[in-house]
Structure 1
Amino acid sequence: MTFGDVATVLSGLLVLRDGETTDDTVDGFVETDSREIVPGGIFVAKPGETTDGHAFVGVARERGARLAIVEHPVDDDITQIVVPDAVEALGALASHVVAAVRSSGRLRVVGITGSNGKTTTKNLLDAVLSPRAATVAPKNSFNNAVGAPTTMLRVTGDSEFLVSEMGASGPGQIARLVRMVTPDIGVVLKVGLAHAGGFGGLEETFAEKSAMVTSLPDTAVAVLNLDDDRVAAMADLTAARVVFFGLADAAHVRATDVDSDRTGTRFTLVLPSGEARPVRFRVLGEHHISNALAAAAVATELGVPLDDIVAGLETVTRAERWRMEVLGGRDDVTIINDAYNASPDSMAAALKTLAVITPPEGRRVAVLGTMAELGEFAGDEHDRIGLLAVRLRVDRLVVVGTDARRLHISAINEGSWDGESVFVETADEAYAYLSDELRAGDTVLVKSSNSAGLRHLGDRLGELFSW
């Protein structure tokens, strides 16, 4: 695009660097982090909570940025487009670029949302689609008002698939992302209490997640989780053709013959045509079967043969860094590092996985930290997880951090335990305790929200018991 093209799309004020004209072009990626800039790109100077992107325009220029999108002119030798809101401008540019690539008729857009499982499903779908055609998918968990459009802006004229994670921590955010690029296929995985503090409760979360499918045209496809009653109910809210996935017999894409252990999960993948294939799925936890089914449903709609879907699913060995990541192995001690995100649903699923995969002769050890962003629901939900740990017969519960202490209290108040639950203030204290406590045959789950920092504890324990 030319400088003039970009300024027109953004309705911004173009301030040209000496010697440059409106017909000069940009052809690199668009970034909000100056460290990620490559030559020919655009730097979006986004104001932040602790730092202001305007202070890094010069760094971006030195790294090769040709254009800066700013909210006020900066004294750097670079062409700038001044806009009222840099994040809104980022979204507008993404919408324009995707529409332009789409006009060729090749690009298909998949939008994925849900309280849990977005990143895993994105990774699985990327593994299935990438061998077939040029596919753009988010790095890490780029799914918010900045990360999603940044990913969208990586499409080129050769791109055939754009997989877009669409997350939200407050009302209206998913609808905004959907408006940027109305998906050809919209996926809803689950409605739960993740980020409930920002929404207000399950009904509000339902309203937010349903925005993925309510505005889809009748030419689109809504891929919905039949095992989640709230998600299944979204079938009545969309004009799109509905494809259900799940374990239920009525699901169009389903799994049968499910079996799990510490090496992964085995199941039979069944498609609407009746075709079926066994899958050796190495992502730990039966709850991730739902994500695999969602990816398979999308891939089927995009024309991927069943054998290629299975091959893609079987290449994925972990959901994502710090998500059900299997570490250790020495002395038959298995560390499951799942401490990047934690909601009540994902915490419960991880604990149930721990209960299912621990061999009869081994101990179930759960190292749990806080579940963040639950607002008024935090106390009750930590209570519920503490009780669940007892009922699943976790042999040793280690609760880390003041924000999670209520989970420890709930467990010991259950009355059936005598010393099985331990509370410590810090990850270092937990490491010191576990270094002495763990023994051969233990299976250890480390689970918390990212803010608790227990992912680093999981890494340390994995290293301690590595070969």
Structure 2
Amino acid sequence: MIRMTLAEVARTVGGELFLSGADTPETPVTGTVETDSRVLGDGDVFVAKPGEVTDGHRFVAAAAAAGVVLAIVERRVEAEVSQIVVADAVTALADLAREVVARVRAGGALQIVGITGSNGKTTTKNLLARILSDAGETIAPRGSYNNEVGAPLTMLRITEHTRFLVSEFGAAGPGEIARLAGLVTPDIGVALMVGLAHAGGFGGVEATLAAKTELVEAVRPGGLAVLNADDPRVATMAAVAEGRGVSVRWFGRSASAQVRAEDVVVTASGTAATVIDGAERHPLRMRVLGEHHISNALAALTAAQELGVPLAQSIARLETVEVAERWRMQPLGTDRIRIINDAYNASPDSMAAALRTLAQIVAPGQRKVAVLGAMSELGEQAGEEHDRVGLLAVRLRIERIVIVGSEARRLYLAAIGEGSWDGEAVFFENADDAFDYLRTELRDGDRVLVKSSNSAGLRHLGDRLGDWVS
């Protein structure tokens, strides 16, 4: 965070300042801003956010003991630290982020990229951050910090020296991306895809499209929208961009894309393609698994070009990335038994992409094993979409289909109904039972995909399997 005084912070968040000890209204605030008291230190700022499980106000005293200079609270707390009392701590966090970004941007060097999409946000964010980090100080979210708390916390990590801010925008409902992107007014907005992920929370895929379009609507006039030419829903955002004086640049596999890929090949060691931009042709050999990650790479390459990084340099930097993110197509284990832990998020699109990747990387004599859990937030389409995944697993000739959790039972029933009669598909109520089964079932040469939504908890099962086979 850039330097502000206690009084300036209070004015920014519209709160009442209560001083402690030797502090004055001019006492400087220069530390990091966090909602987790466990990571705070001298000079930092603690935002006491009420939560579903606990209340941040319980930890103000601990934050004071850690040396924070300020606590932003919704009610005064008995603790030896200056406090600013606000009506809503999350709103105050957003207001502070908006002011800090505006101050840094006034210096003229900061460029901001916003990324959204039903799938691929975190991977694309990580790939773009890797490209940009060699060109200047780059701030990007940790993990999937993309909501009303995580996005402002990321913004507040910038300094006067930050050249690039890469923001990832997720949404639990309409208007959320507009609010978050509106804090920074991105120079570039990247729209990856519009699918059924979280469609239940939005009321359908068309409502999801409207929510994702909010990012393009937030791009500053004269900025750039980086759009997926392969997604017809994303393609409709071009008219929105052009109506706001925002240019459009296309990426994808189709011939209409300006930055496109051909000759895509997926192997056990990674994903390769030829990247084409006009007369330029460059080989790309990523260590990240999955044909679907080529689209994410193209999006990152397109945005990086607009930010001044030549295509060849960007590709060279992408080729150094070993894992897109923990629990996202993360290879574990050994060559004897390879585990691919992709159980942080799941949607019908990402589930299908992961299963196809599993089918592509298996060599003759090796078995394909899919450990699958439920996809969350699909609303009334959940049953049908789980059926589709079960059918696909059988049609891809997955030798062992292990379904975990009652919410995923339709996957199991669909697999059996499609013709998986000879023990290929098995069902377990919980991850412990599935783990016990897999310890006896897995054998040398197996390639094991673990895939589910975060709420199903199978990422921990993937970790356990990885530790067991290592």
In structure 2, C-alpha distance between the alignment counterparts of 1:464 and 1:395, rounded to whole Å: 21
Amino acid at match of 2:74: E
In structure 2, C-alpha distance between the alignment counterparts of 1:114 and 1:393, rounded to whole Å: 30
2:287 to 282, 286, 289: 282
Task: Identify the range of structure 1 (446-455 vs 201-210) with the bigger mean alpha-carbon deviation.
Answer: 446-455
Aligned to 1:425: 429
The reply to whether residue 390 of structure 1 matches residue 394 of structure 2 is yes
TM-superposed CA distance for 1:214, in Å, is 1.8
Aligned to 1:440: 444
Amino acid at match of 2:79: D
Q: Secondary structure at the match of 2:29?
A: coil
CA contact (8 A) 1:330 1:465 kept: no
TM-superposed CA distance for 1:124, in Å, is 0.5
Aligned to 1:23: 26
TM-superposed CA distance for 1:437, in Å, is 1.2
TM-superposed CA distance for 1:56, in Å, is 0.6
TM-superposed CA distance for 1:18, in Å, is 3.4
CA contact (8 A) 2:199 2:205 kept: yes
In structure 1, C-alpha distance between the alignment counterparts of 2:468 and 2:70, rounded to whole Å: 47
1:316 to 317, 321, 339: 321
The reply to whether residue 297 of structure 1 matches residue 307 of structure 2 is no
1:61 to 47, 64, 70: 64
CA contact (8 A) 1:213 1:234 kept: yes
Give matches, 1:41-440, under 5 Å.
41-238=44-241, 239=244, 240-271=246-277, 273-331=278-336, 333-415=337-419, 417-440=421-444
CA contact (8 A) 2:409 2:427 kept: yes
TM-superposed CA distance for 1:463, in Å, is 2.1
In structure 2, C-alpha distance between the alignment counterparts of 1:215 and 1:121, rounded to whole Å: 19
TM-superposed CA distance for 1:330, in Å, is 4.4
What are the superposed Cα offsets for residues 201-225 of structure 1, whole Å, 9 maximum, x if unpaired?
1001000000000232331000011
Aligned to 1:452: 456
Amino acid at match of 1:107: L
Q: Say if 1:330 and 1:308 are closer, same or farther in 2 by CA, change over 3 A.
A: closer
TM-superposed CA distance for 1:289, in Å, is 0.6
TM-superposed CA distance for 1:7, in Å, is 0.7
Q: Secondary structure at the match of 1:217?
A: coil
CA contact (8 A) 1:117 1:189 kept: yes
Q: Percent identity?
A: 61
Amino acid at match of 1:89: A
In structure 1, C-alpha distance between the alignment counterparts of 2:58 and 2:190, rounded to whole Å: 38
TM-superposed CA distance for 1:233, in Å, is 1.3
CA contact (8 A) 2:119 2:192 kept: yes
TM-superposed CA distance for 1:433, in Å, is 1.0
TM-superposed CA distance for 1:359, in Å, is 1.4
CA contact (8 A) 2:348 2:375 kept: yes
Q: Secondary structure at the match of 1:315?
A: coil
Q: Secondary structure at the match of 2:264?
A: strand
Gaps of 5+ in 2: none
Amino acid at match of 2:376: A
TM-superposed CA distance for 1:361, in Å, is 2.2
In structure 2, C-alpha distance between the alignment counterparts of 1:217 and 1:134, rounded to whole Å: 22
In structure 1, C-alpha distance between the alignment counterparts of 2:146 and 2:419, rounded to whole Å: 42
What are the superposed Cα offsets for residues 38-74 of structure 1, whole Å, 9 maximum, x if unpaired?
2111110100001000111111111111111111111
Q: Secondary structure at the match of 2:147?
A: coil
What are the superposed Cα offsets for residues 248-281 of structure 1, whole Å, 9 maximum, x if unpaired?
111011111111111111111122x421211111
CA contact (8 A) 1:171 1:198 kept: no
CA contact (8 A) 2:101 2:184 kept: yes
Q: Secondary structure at the match of 1:280?
A: strand
CA contact (8 A) 2:186 2:218 kept: no
In structure 1, C-alpha distance between the alignment counterparts of 2:80 and 2:356, rounded to whole Å: 57
In structure 1, C-alpha distance between the alignment counterparts of 2:21 and 2:214, rounded to whole Å: 46
In structure 2, C-alpha distance between the alignment counterparts of 1:261 and 1:75, rounded to whole Å: 59
Q: Say if 1:63 and 1:142 are closer, same or farther in 2 by CA, change over 3 A.
A: same
Moved over 4 A (4+): none
TM-superposed CA distance for 1:429, in Å, is 1.1
In structure 2, C-alpha distance between the alignment counterparts of 1:170 and 1:212, rounded to whole Å: 13
CA contact (8 A) 2:123 2:324 kept: yes
CA contact (8 A) 2:170 2:177 kept: yes
Gaps of 5+ in 1: none
What are the superposed Cα offsets for residues 307-339 of structure 1, whole Å, 9 maximum, x if unpaired?
2101110111111001101112243x2211101
How many residues align? The count is 464
Amino acid at match of 2:368: R
In structure 2, C-alpha distance between the alignment counterparts of 1:417 and 1:270, rounded to whole Å: 46
